[in-house]
Amino acid sequence: MIKITDKAIKQLKQLLPENKEAPSGLRIGVRGNGKCVLNYFVAAEKKSLPEDEIFKIDGLTIFIDKKSLTKLREVELDYLEGIDRSDFIFRTSSLENKYHCIDRQ
């Protein structure tokens, strides 16, 4: 299962508006781009899909499809704040791909 830092959880909660029409959770996933590079993403979702695993983390509902789940096992989602940029990042244990920026949906 993906590890999500406290800073990332705080920021993820801000992605979900509080109203009836709001998405019910967040999808975290991985897409290949055909060049052996993985693109990690987070997107608001209204409902889960049949192939999803559903996780409850600190009040958040997280949807992860089974294909992405295997690629997210040793990944940490964090939120970094810098002088010129603040964003979610995915940290992997792979030496050649230490950090991945988020693909916002």
Quickly state the pLDDT bin for 95 (edges 50, 70, 90): very low
* Res 20: pLDDT: 59
When mean pLDDT is compared across 6-10, 39-43, 93-97, the lowest value belongs to: 93-97
Look up the domain containing 69 and give its range.
3-104
Q: What is the mean pLDDT of residues 1-16?
A: 89
Q: Where are the beta strands (DSSP E) in the chain?
A: 3-4, 25-32, 38-45, 52-57, 60-65, 75-81, 86-92, 99-101, 103-104
Overall domain count for the chain? 1
Q: Inform me whether the pLDDT recorded for 98 exceeds 50.
A: no
* Res 104: pLDDT: 52
Give the CATH number for residue 26.
2.60.300.12
* Res 94: pLDDT: 62
